[in-house]
A and B are shown apart, each in its own frame.
Chain A
Amino acid sequence: MVGYVCKYTPVEIIEAFGETPVQLEPDSKSYERAESLLHSNICSFAKGVLENVIDKNIDEIVLTSCCDSIKRLYDVLKQRVKFIHVLDLPRKKDPEAKDLFCSEIKGFIKAYTAYKKRDFSEENLLNILEKKAAKGKKVFSESIAVMGARLKEDVVEKIKSFGAEIINLTCTGEERKFDVEPEGDLLRNYAESLLNLTPCMRMAKDRNILEGKRFKGIIYNTIKFCDFYAYEYAELKEKLDIPLLKIETDYTDAGSGQILTRVDAFLESIGMKKVEKEKVRSGYFAGIDSGSTSANVVIIDENKNIISYSIVPTGPKALESARQAFELALKDAGLKEDDIKIVVATGYGRVSIPFAEKTVTEITCHGKGAFFIDSAVRTVIDIGGQDSKVIRLDDEGNVVDFVMNDKCSAGTGRFLEVMARTLGVSIEEMGKVTEKAREDITITSMCTVFAESEVISLIAQNKDQRDIIHALNKAVASKAVSLIERVGRKGSYMMTGGVAKNRGVVSAIEKRLGEKILIPPEPQIIGALGAALIALEGK
């Protein structure tokens, strides 16, 4: 087998040699070895490829000079594998670019012929290209497009499993179909047809790949430390009138749960995943929000009155905490489990709750709950224990857009908990600080670990504790405001989740927004309330 990564690789030449080209798709769990050979801040895909090449002893690789990370990957692999070749890939496709790429393809053929001690036959190439002849253009239906950087096949499959029809327009999703002129210089014609593939973001040509196509929604993928596609996302976000979801993947399995939550919520918000509506709705309904910090339960009656609620800290076993919270709420309401018609679960632990009939993402639930409390709400800021989200609602209370923080805990409840511990104060005390005492300090690191050492050095400098707390509250606010900017500002605002109880953070966000934020009487139960309402309404 010959490993390759870029779609512009002359895969058909490899086939013409009688070899099997395999597009490398990293599946490493960590980048331990890759990070000792390449820097840790290099694109996670390049690191993943390096890790896999070492793991699987891949000894023939063909690369292109497609990006800085792959060029450095080539430098590293050059000394480690039996055969490696990099083709200089021009970004343009004028006649000079075609000449250049054709000469690069010839260079590769020469190098591989020498390595394999086997001749190359143009006839073989022609046969292969004929089998891959382009047959008219694809017609796009009302489906979901996946765009942006390459996306792991298993993530695509998981998206499909939610019931959505997917059109893969990512950089490597295109089918290899060619329209190569058999007459004349075959290799030059082949080079030309490769350069004519839909341009990726690295190429000079502007790409309008959505022109003439209509989708129900677009899932836009970017890869950690690969910056190319974020530019296109920023452009599309501004001009597209169809729902757009951005996800960031990193070629390890970590974080795929969070990504699937987003995809799930996105499909819910655009009506691709519907919850069946039941005819008779009477009795009591429960919503369970199994979060990273607490398990919250709300029980409502058929008239949407809140009968009882409970908040129980999440212990080592999410299910036990959820069960405990459920029982507590039942007891408060004076009800038995059988009295509850439908239970809907949400939150991170939602899939592990066996007594729930349905699961709905916390994004939809927080939107639902917040709009129920106040129908003027258009932006929900939910800062929980391990993630923060900003949810945009339309005039009917439907979720129309949302953003979430990335994998790290920057700007979340956990961040504040760690800092409270470092400062030796309670989280409640931290929340009371809404103004600076002596000086306006700014915490520059958003990473929890680095911010902690920054706080330690502020303590060492004998800074007023209230000023440090004020700075930390501002840091969380700044992260939240940056999420708000990503969906665009629109009032009224409501804050939900545990951090909404922190007056210091709320006031820092209000200062940045120049607007008041509504805080519900019990901000931690809004997700569970939304789930209970969905149980009642069936949507």
Chain B
Amino acid sequence: MDPVKFYASLIKKNMERPEHVKKLINFGLSFAHHYVSLFKDKRVPQSFHFLNKYCIKCVIDPLKHPQNSAWVNLFSPSEFLMAMDIKPLFIEAYSSFMSGFFIEDCLIDAAESKGISNTLCSYHKTFLGAGELGILEKPRLMIATSIACDANIPTFRYLSKKLGVPLCIIDVPYRYSKEAVSYVKKQLFEAASSLEEAFKRKLDIDKLREVVKTENKTRALMKEYLNYAGGKSLQTTMTFEMYMLFASHVFIGSKEILKFFEMLLADIRKAPEKSGKSVFFVHLLPMFEKNFKDYFNFGEKYRIAGSDINYDFLDEIDEKDPFSGIAEKLILTSFNGGIDRRVSRIRELVEKIKPDGIIQFCHLGCKQSMGGVFFIKKLASEMGIPFLCLDGDCVDKRNNQEGQNRTRLEAFLEML
């Protein structure tokens, strides 16, 4: 029997004993961390090998030390947590790992059986299910932003009430204005005091400035990386591209992510010239979908050219006034506001990277992204690039029609 599936069945059998499940999950994560540290896949560039280990550790730390952790979503301003040495557990990452452990179905069923909508995004349903089943240790605080999707606030509020953990909501307005910046800035001040109160420690503004400074340096490297991304062939996988979310969002500002981008830049500089066809992804990559794994993981004929979610904000944050700077970043991300903002960012990235095709994998439940699919299609057609829209689920494997997807994906790749 496949060891991962055996491990999954062991967890599922113990679902009524949450303490056992917590231990099994922590064991699985620690095992994965040791495994990737000891057995390096020779095909993997140094930078991704480093990122792989770091990301697993970023999920282990808050689970093992819940008293020093806060639950956040992908767009939460984790700069404050880093400045205060608090470990964030971002729910999308947790759900992805549970899908990697093949237990997402069990967690999703637990959430749905309580009455949670079956059309809700499975990243949220998986996390809610884990909360329902009591397999997560309570954090000290939760921080949720209203971007990039509607599910954040109700999911966090539901869990906050259920578990009795304080929640800090950061509402990010739809458009940019001076009133919008003041509104978010005030909420960031409130979030900082909630953190101080929950963790009984002071926020050192100089440390926050230091995090922002590192974040700016990292983003400069990220932009430099983009200059090479189109012309070189770096060996990558669907999973690594999704790990980039740790680097572009929740953990940007950390020394480790700065180091990762330095390594990534070194890797891409020495990578061979572009060969085969490259595909740019809009929003998410279905990293557990077999067809995609077959074609894109370390693919020679087809490779991943990037995803717009990793480059949603490319400006500098004001280091002197980090509260205003972070507020502006939240409002100005291309995942906020009208679809035209997103279209412009994708256009910029496509012009730079020059992929051979664009795929939008419409993750079931993600209205903000799938609602814009026809605009992205129009953009691709204006730019003369083949475009494929596929429906499926990045977490709940039951929602993927492997047979149909294979035919569509193959036909698209033949078009390239």
Contacts and interface: CB of A to CB of B under 8 A. Distances in A.
Contacts of A67: 150, 367
A153 to B, nearest CB: 23
B374 interface: yes
B174 A71 contact: yes
A230 B117 contact: yes
B248 interface: no
Interface stretch (B68-76, B195-203, B284-292, B397-405): B397-405
Given A75-B371, A96-B182, A453-B401, A68 B175 contact: no
Interface string A86-98: 1010111010110
A38 B150 contact: no
A75 B370 contact: no
Interface stretch (B108-116, B218-226, B234-242): B108-116
B368 A103 contact: no
A68 B375 contact: no
B403 A222 contact: no
Given A222-B117, A230-B120, A486-B113, A72 B401 contact: no
Contacts of A457: 403
B119 A225 contact: yes
Given A68-B149, A91-B171, A103-B177, A75 B375 contact: yes
B371 A71 contact: yes
Contact of A65 (B174, B182, B340): B174
Interface in A245-271: 246
A211 to B, nearest CB: 15
A224 B120 CA distance: 10
A127 interface: no
A39 B392 CA distance: 13
Interface in B96-144: 109, 112-117, 119-121
Nearest to B366: A68
Nearest to B180: A100
Interface in A65-79: 65, 67-69, 71-76, 78
B372 A75 contact: yes
B269 interface: no
Contact of B117 (A68, A71, A227, A237): A227
Contact of A91 (B146, B155, B180): B146
A482 interface: yes
Contact of B401 (A99, A445, A482): A445
B158 A231 contact: yes
Contact of A71 (B158, B177, B338): B338
A490 to B, nearest CB: 14
Given A96-B183, A100-B179, A450-B401, A482 B113 contact: yes
A235 B362 CA distance: 29
B153 interface: yes
A201 interface: yes
B375 A446 contact: no
A282 interface: no
B174 A91 contact: no
Contacts of B368: 68, 71-72
B173 interface: yes
B272 interface: no
A340 B311 CA distance: 76
A75 B161 contact: no
Contact of A444 (B161, B364, B398): B398
B131 to A, nearest CB: 11
A38 B374 contact: yes
Interface residues of A, number: 56
A207 B292 CA distance: 43
A20 interface: no
Nearest to B360: A39
B135 to A, nearest CB: 17
Given A39-B362, A227-B365, A86 B174 contact: yes
B314 interface: no
A100 B176 CA distance: 11
B154 interface: yes
Interface residues of B, number: 54
Interface in B140-194: 146, 149-151, 153-155, 157-158, 161, 169, 171, 173-175, 177, 179-180, 182-183, 186-187
A348 interface: no
B315 interface: no
Contact of B180 (A88, A234, A450): A88
Interface string B331-349: 0000000111000000000
A276 interface: no
B171, B177, B373, B375 interface centre (most CB from chain A within 10 Å): B171
B398 A445 contact: yes
B115 A227 contact: no
A204 interface: yes
Interface string A228-250: 10110111011000000010000
A179 interface: no
B154 to A, nearest CB: 4
A261 B403 CA distance: 38
A231 B400 CA distance: 25
A231 B116 contact: yes
A41 B338 contact: no
Contact of A246 (B115, B120, B146, B187): B115
A76, A231, A445 interface centre (most CB from chain B within 10 Å): A231
A445 B158 CA distance: 28
A227 B151 contact: yes
A224 B153 contact: no
Nearest to B338: A75
Contacts of B161: 206, 235
A222 B109 CA distance: 19
Contacts of A96: 179, 182-183, 186
Nearest to B177: A103
A231 B151 CA distance: 10
A186 B130 CA distance: 48
A6 interface: no
A251 to B, nearest CB: 14
B391 interface: yes
Nearest to B132: A234
B362 to A, nearest CB: 6
Interface in A25-51: 36-39, 41-43
A75 B109 CA distance: 34
Nearest to B362: A39
Contacts of B174: 65, 71, 86, 88
B60 to A, nearest CB: 29
A96 B189 CA distance: 13
Contact of A88 (B119, B120, B173, B364): B173
A43 B151 CA distance: 13
Contacts of B374: 36-39, 76
A232 to B, nearest CB: 8
A96 B153 CA distance: 19
Interface string A173-200: 0000000000000000000000000000
B154 A100 contact: no
A122 interface: no
A42 B369 CA distance: 10
Given A75-B338, A96-B179, A204-B171, A42 B371 contact: yes
23 contacts: A39-B362, A39-B367, A39-B370, A41-B367, A68-B368, A71-B174, A74-B338, A75-B339, A78-B338, A88-B174, A202-B150, A202-B153, A204-B153, A204-B169, A227-B117, A228-B150, A230-B117, A231-B116, A234-B114, A235-B158, A237-B115, A444-B397, A446-B398
Interface of B: 109, 112-117, 119-121, 146, 149-151, 153-155, 157-158, 161, 169, 171, 173-175, 177, 179-180, 182-183, 186-187, 338-340, 362, 364-365, 367-368, 370-375, 391, 397-401, 403-404
Given A38-B371, A41-B362, A42-B370, 8 more contacts: A37-B374, A88-B174, A90-B183, A100-B180, A201-B154, A204-B169, A450-B401, A454-B403
Closest 3 CB pairs of A and B: A72-B371, A485-B113, A234-B115
